Amino acid sequence: MSLEAAGVRRAAVLGTATGARTFLAPAALALRGRLGKVARYAVPVLAAGEIVGDKLPMAPPRVEGPGLVARVVSGAVSGRVSAGARGARVGAAFALAATYPSQALRGAIVSRTGAPDIAIAVPEDLLAASAAAAASTEPRPDVDGPKSDDIRGFSAHQRGMLAAAGLGLVAGAVGTAAMTSAQKWVYGFTGAEGSEAPREVGEKILGHFGVKVRKEQRPALNTATHALYGTSWGLLFGVVWGRGRPPGPDKGAVFGLNVWLASLVELPALGIATPPWKQSPVALAQDLGFHLVYGAATAAAYEAFSA
């Protein structure tokens, strides 16, 4: 693994930590002297304040207001320190992808176990801080890379189509998580309800097997179908766009556009949505934006996993 590849993978970890705590990754970098003298003292103070504020009852959801933007920017900055422009893309994508899932997982654990929120929040602090601390180090040739350059850069093409498909599936899962975070953030601003199209698709599929979905099962089915659909598209990304040179943001945009266009055909064909020419331009533009986020995050995740 080259030093650049190691830096890209560290950017992914730093971004993931940022999705849980905005300032932990920059604080870890600052403490190692990688953000300058002023930041070495200022950023850890911000991180400590965030950790305390996160436990307060009035702490806002992570996907509400400017908080999500701050996490994405923090992930991008941390990733750039780790691996330049590629690292910035990867850090931002993983920060966005980790934001809503980390919030939802914490809430689900509290709800199911009845434990106080702080009992779950503190271990989350420790996990995020440990990840940020481990990823904030600079890659070293004698530890992070082989002495030869036989596997330098992106080798998905050499690994073959099966490996590219597998990497694409994992990248698609990250892209889907990032898209979900973006949707929750936008819906929080607009007050709109989330799409029920994935649930309706799931019900149609299960109906063919004689399975009826109860009302209380619908939210879980909506989430599961959304996740499976987005992840499965990642397989195509790996096979078509991922092999060869690094995918980059341009291929991510093309991929997201193609998935969006496919949805404009699939959903009306299933009788779940109206034809695109009957939908409002605002709704179409919003849905396109979500799919571009999905494509960009999937491409960035593929860069990290195949580095």
Q: According to the model, what pLDDT value does residue 139 have?
A: 72
For 56-84, give the DSSP string.
Answer: STTPPPTTSTTHHHHHHHHHHHHHHHHHH
- Please state the rounded mean pLDDT for residues 159-185: 90
Q: From CA 230, how far away is CA 169, in angstroms rounded?
A: 9
Query: Over 50: is that where the pLDDT of 82 sits?
Result: yes
CB 145 within 8 A of CB 1: yes
Query: What integer best gives the mean pLDDT of the chain?
Result: 90
Q: What is the pLDDT of residues 242-294, one digit of tens each?
A: 766 667 888 999 999 999 999 999 999 999 999 999 999 999 999 999 999 99
What is the predicted pLDDT for the residue at 85? 93
Q: Where are the domains of the chain?
A: 3-144, 156-306
Q: If you count them, how many residues does the chain have?
A: 307
Q: In terms of Cα–Cα distance, which of 276, 17, 33, 263 is closest to 134?
A: 17
pLDDT tens-place string over residues 22-74: 999 999 999 999 998 899 999 999 999 999 999 998 898 999 889 999 999 99
